[in-house]
Amino acid sequence: MAIEQTLILIKPDGAFRKLTGLTIDRLDATGLEMVGAKMIVVTDKLARDHYSSLSDKPFFEDLIKYIRGGYHGISDSRILALVYRGENAIKAVRAVAGATNPEAAAPGTIRGSFGRMNSVTKQFENVIHASSDPTDAAKEVALWFKKEELIP
Ligand code: IDP
Ligand code: MG
């Protein structure tokens, strides 16, 4: 069993709809350890670096607007970034996060319980980001956190 770290972001819809505490409750229920937490302004550069692998997708510009709070009336949105650590942390957090499309996410998952398809903006509002594999997790943790901001 590998000890992994994974990055979680409470996206602007989660903060706007006051789902932060409920989301952390689900994350803590995994038994993993929270080793990093901070509020951070999502600059245009940070958003584009974070989602660089999706830059060729048709929804990319909408995604940048969404993660920066543009669909929730927030400019220079601050979001809560978290790092959880433990055995198979990446898969464990993805499992409680649920499927990307909130309408397809299983009941009881974070996205299945709290996510929604916004009927006005047509955006997936899926509450959290969670790293998808060890390569992405390493890149994302390093992008959002300095080493000294994590519990050793
Ligand atoms: P993930 O967040 O479950 O890892 P990714 O495929 O990495 O899913 O996509 C990143 C984010 O981009 C999603 O969480 C969602 O906000 C958005 N997204 C992904 N696919 C679509 C789509 O088909 N339409 C609209 N937004 C999408
Ligand atoms: Mg992803």
Q: 40-78: per-residue pLDDT in tens?
A: 999 999 999 999 999 999 999 999 999 999 999 876 788
What pLDDT was estimated at residue 122? 87
Domain boundaries, the chain: 3-145
pLDDT at 78: 85
3-145 CATH choice from 3.30.70.270, 3.40.50.2300, 1.10.1660.10, 3.30.70.141: 3.30.70.141
CB count within 10 Å of CB 23 equals 24
Ligand 1 mutation pick, 100, 111, 127, 139, max ligand atoms within 8 A of CB? 100
Nearest to 68 by CA among 16, 117, 139, 122: 16
Q: What's the rounded Cα separation, in Å, for the pair 146 and 133?
A: 20
What pLDDT does 97 receive?
A: 98
What pLDDT does residue 77 have? 80
Which residue's CA lies nearest to atom 24 of ligand 1?
59
Q: Which pLDDT belongs to residue 121? A: 87
Q: How far is the CA of 60 from the centre of ligand 2 (A)?
A: 12
Ligand index nearest the alpha carbon of residue 100: 1
Q: Which two tokens stand for residue 18?
A: 């006051």
Q: What's the CA gap between 99 and 31, in Å, rounded?
A: 21
Is the entire prediction scored with pTM above 0.95?
yes
**What spacing in Å lies between the alpha carbon of 53 and ligand 1's midpoint?**
11
Mean per-residue pLDDT, 77-103: 97
Task: Give 38 Cα–ligand 1 centroid separation in angstroms.
Answer: 23
Eight-state DSSP code of residue 127: S
Compute the average pLDDT of residues 117-123. 89
For Cα atoms 53, 76, 111, give the angle at the middle one, nearest 5 degrees: 55
For residue range 2-51, list pLDDT tens digits in order.
999 999 999 999 999 999 999 999 999 999 999 999 999 999 999 999 99
The pLDDT of residue 53 is 97
